[in-house]
Each structure stands twice: as C-alpha cells, then as structure tokens.
Homo-oligomer: A and B are copies of this chain.
Amino acid sequence: MENKLTHFDKEGKAIMVDVSEKEDTSREATAKGKVIMKKETLNLIKNGEMGKGDVLGVARVAGIMAAKQTHNIIPMCHPLMITKSQVDFSIIEEENAIEVIGIVKTTGKTGVEMEALTAVSAAALTIYDMCKAVDKKMTICDVHLYKKTGGKSGNFIHEK
C-alpha cells in the first residue's frame, strides 16, 4: 500500500529506514522558503548587503553549516556525505520578503531533501535572529521541497 509511513516498522515503532541495499546514485534537492518582514527591516538588510551589517552573509553560512548537521537534528535522517551545499537569497519587494533557496547534492543511498530543507530553515531563523531587535513579527513561511532529482522515487518538482 502506497500510503505507508516508511519511518516505522510493522509494529509501528520508529526506525531509521534500512537503505543498505540501495545503490549509490547522484542526488540533488532544492528547497525554498520565505521570511516576511516589515519594509523597514527589508531595507536594513538590503543596505547591509553592500558590506556592512551583512545579515544574508551570516545567514548563508548558517544554512550551509546546518545542512551538515541535518542527521543530528532530524532523528530518522541518515548521515550522508554532502558534496555540495549552497544557499541563495532573492528579495521579493512586493511581499516585503526574502526568499531563501537551499541546494544540496550528494552521491549516496538516500536523498538530500531534508538537508536542503534544514539549510533553508536555519538560514531563515538566522535572518530572524539578526533582525529581531527591530522586527519581532517576522514570519517564516512556504518552506517546501521545490525540486529533487536522482534516487529510486525519481524526479519531483513542486511549483507554488
């Protein structure tokens, strides 16, 4: 039955899924999310990009490093050897938002969806942390898997 939650055994106990028999293949995942804020906050961040008060520079490092910690944050995630981790930002003026994009690659037995999502979440949280003194109402939303290639379940794309 296709609806089975794979992270549980037959008795309903949580397990880290056995991927021993899976082949090492090239896998990539892209996740996206948004941080919505006041226009003044967005302006402060945009000014910082010019070299002083570089919020996005710090958030990028946070996201890249968090991808490597995914298996210590998400209990049932397998450890894996990330071969690329990238975090980009794009300003969405009309929504007073910053889009966060995380791209992770590996060659291994499991995908890197959670690593990409974790990178996006950590970068977004870091933006919140660095701006919370001026804008406590910032909201993180639309964190989702945008694209995934490689692996047995095949390619996937989720346009919102």
Contact = CB atoms under 8 A, between A and B. Distances in A.
B84 A134 contact: no
Interface in A19-69: 19-20, 22, 26, 33, 40, 44, 48-55, 57-58, 60-62, 64-66, 68-69
Number of copies: 6
A30 to B, nearest CB: 12
Interface residues of A, number: 94
A142 interface: yes
A156 B136 contact: yes
Contact of A130 (B7, B51, B68): B7
A138 B144 CA distance: 7
A78 B60 CA distance: 16
A115 to B, nearest CB: 10
Nearest to A108: B81
A64 B141 CA distance: 21
A9 interface: yes
Interface in A136-151: 136-145, 148
Interface string A61-86: 11011101101111111111111111
